[in-house]
Amino acid sequence: MNGGIGRDAALRRPVGAARQPYLNVRWFGRMEFARALELQEELVAKRRENALLEDQLLLLEHEPVYTIGRTPDRSSLLGSDHLPHPLFSINRGGQATYHGPGQLMGYPIIDLRRCGEDLHKYLRWLEQLLIDLLVRYDIAAQRRVSLTGVWVENRKIASIGVGVRHWITMHGFALNVCGDLSSFDHIVPCGINNVAITSMEKETKKSFTVAEVASTLEKLALDSIVSLRVSPETQLINA
């Protein structure tokens, strides 16, 4: 992974994929939310202008922040005047959530025109990527019907909220790795009442670093991105 965990992604390109833009995974460490949002905007604009650019997966941590998606219903904020951290209204789906230290953020900048223009398939790909990651740490995670995200029994361990512009994705997922989860108590996480929030640390009683988990996720993302893409022939038909 570029930016600190580093591997040569080109070495893992599947045979016959040389003509396909691949996935450039980058680790940024701790980054302010506003800067991450600005970076995503820049990459989406560049991706739209140049279809030959590689897709990106940005991995990082945030300073404490709340976000809420495009919705007139802001009841999940429980009164934004009393939130202990800054609030950002952003162009993703979904209700309020919290991001902060100990949480692995993943922001894929992926051209869904190369993936059949199928948003549902993309969301399921994100969920499966996180489920497969958690298996590596002996955590049996799963989907729940009609509730986007990843769960351990009835406890939510990862949230997913995406934005799409001209079939190019931004925003993505937040996986609770370790650390204090009490900031979730000030909102209704993802608009789900009485939801229990958990983390990899809580589920296993073991210590993890976000950088360590990011490195494992990198390998899985590079291996699984081909399952999201459609063949060049199909792309031409859909163009």
Q: Report pLDDT for 230.
A: 81
Mean pLDDT score across all residues of the chain: 85
Residue in 104, 126, 190, 221 annotated catalytic: 190
What is the greatest pairwise CA distance in the chain? 54
190 is catalytic: yes
Q: Report pLDDT for 13.
A: 40
Q: Higher confidence at residue 222 or residue 72?
A: 222
Rounded Cα gap, residues 231 and 208, in angstroms: 38
CB atoms within 10 A of CB 17: 14
In terms of Cβ atoms closer than 10 Å to its own Cβ (0-12, 13-18, 19+), residue 72 is exposed
Q: Is the pLDDT of residue 99 over 50?
A: yes
Q: Report pLDDT for 9.
A: 39
Rounded Cα gap, residues 46 and 224, in angstroms: 24
Q: Report pLDDT for 185.
A: 85
In terms of Cβ atoms closer than 10 Å to its own Cβ (0-12, 13-18, 19+), residue 120 is exposed
Whether pTM > 0.75 for this model: the answer is yes
Q: Report pLDDT for 222.
A: 95
CA angle 197, 200, 201 (to 5 degrees): 100
Q: Report pLDDT for 74.
A: 63
Q: Report pLDDT for 152.
A: 97
